[in-house]
Structure 1
Amino acid sequence: MSRVRVENEVYMMPPHRGFTVAHFLTVADIERSARFYETVFGGHILSLGDSSGAPGYIQIANTWLIVNIGGGPTPDKPSVTLRVPPDPNSVSSFMNIRVADVRGCFECWRARGAEFITEPMEKYGETRCYIRDPDGYIIEVGQSKSAVVYG
């Protein structure tokens, strides 16, 4: 179980049973990325990592974001190298945030410094737009239309 110390308090990364899903991003600068997610999305920075290579932890809404600098293979992933995407216009995955009011979030988060690729647009039964984080990762922000049923 991961433990994160914040101002003399210890937060234990969930879960206490079962499992949760956290998102990991390879970043160029842990503090810069953590501050972005704190400022734009109201995230709570639990840790900015340490000099021995521990990652940063940010709690955002109902999820955890783990950020760490890249690096070469390690014993538990001997053929994997982590790096920031070399081309921010060529991606294979992205974070997806579902909101109740996409236009309100667009205005609020843009005022907090988020760089949107476009304004919210209608597509596939939803209204959505995308943000770029400091390392070029894209984040989809979408609002489903009430008439759309999934499943």
Structure 2
Amino acid sequence: MENANQNPFNKSELTTILVVSDVQKSKVFYQKVLGSELFREYGGDSVVLKFLGHWILLVSSGEPTADKPDIRFEPPAQPNKVGHAYTIRVEDCQHSYEILKARGAEFITPPYDWGAEIRCFFQDPDGHLFEISEYRG
């Protein structure tokens, strides 16, 4: 087993890169609806946000580069096909739903009670999926 002092990630932080079709529209969504904090903007097409102790980098589409020669950045082509999602654990799903809905989040359904969990889903302007979940088990 690896010694904790040898872990290269001990003093690291994780950033999620989301490719969006309109950086400014997405920035407004993440700040207004989710309450994220703007850290910085650069290059005219990139925004760094802090959300729940996590970094989110919003970027526009991009061509391959020397360090990723066969990879192209594009927003989701089909918002109803998910390859990545966020789950936000909350104390009260119904209350969180009402707050986010009032801020402009468009939910797929109202909170659904599964017994041990109540959850519901919404998407950002490009279809990136978010779940709010209250675990009661």
TM-score by length of 2: 0.86
What is the aligned-residue identity percentage? Answer: 32
Tell me if the contact between 1:47 and 1:56 (Cα under 8 Å) persists in the aligned partners.
yes
Structure 1 segments, 4+ long, off by >4 Å, are none
Alignment of 1:81 with 2:72, yes or no, is: yes
Q: Which runs of 5+ in 2 are unaligned?
A: 1-9
User: CA–CA distance in 1 between the matches of 2:42 and 2:106?
Assistant: 26
CA RMSD of aligned residues (A): 1.7
Cα deviation, 1:121-149, whole Å, max 9, x if unaligned, reads: 1237211100111111111111111xx3x
Match for 1:48 among 41, 54, 60?
Answer: 41
- After TM superposition, list the pairs within 5 Å mapping 1:54-93 onto structure 2: 55-93=46-84
1:49/1:31 CA distance change after superposition, 3 Å:
farther
Match for 2:118 among 127, 138, 143?
Answer: 127
Match for 2:30 among 7, 29, 37?
Answer: 37
Equivalenced residues, count: 129
Alignment of 1:23 with 2:16, yes or no, is: yes
Q: Which has the higher contact order (CA 8 A, sep 6+)?
A: 2
- After TM superposition, list the pairs within 5 Å mapping 1:93-108 onto structure 2: 93-108=84-99
User: CA–CA distance in 1 between the matches of 2:131 and 2:67?
Assistant: 31
Cα deviation, 1:24-79, whole Å, max 9, x if unaligned, reads: 1000111111110101111111223324x5x2111112111110001111111111
TM-score by length of 1: 0.79
User: CA–CA distance in 2 between the matches of 1:26 and 1:49?
Assistant: 15
Q: Which runs of 5+ in 1 are unaligned?
A: 1-16
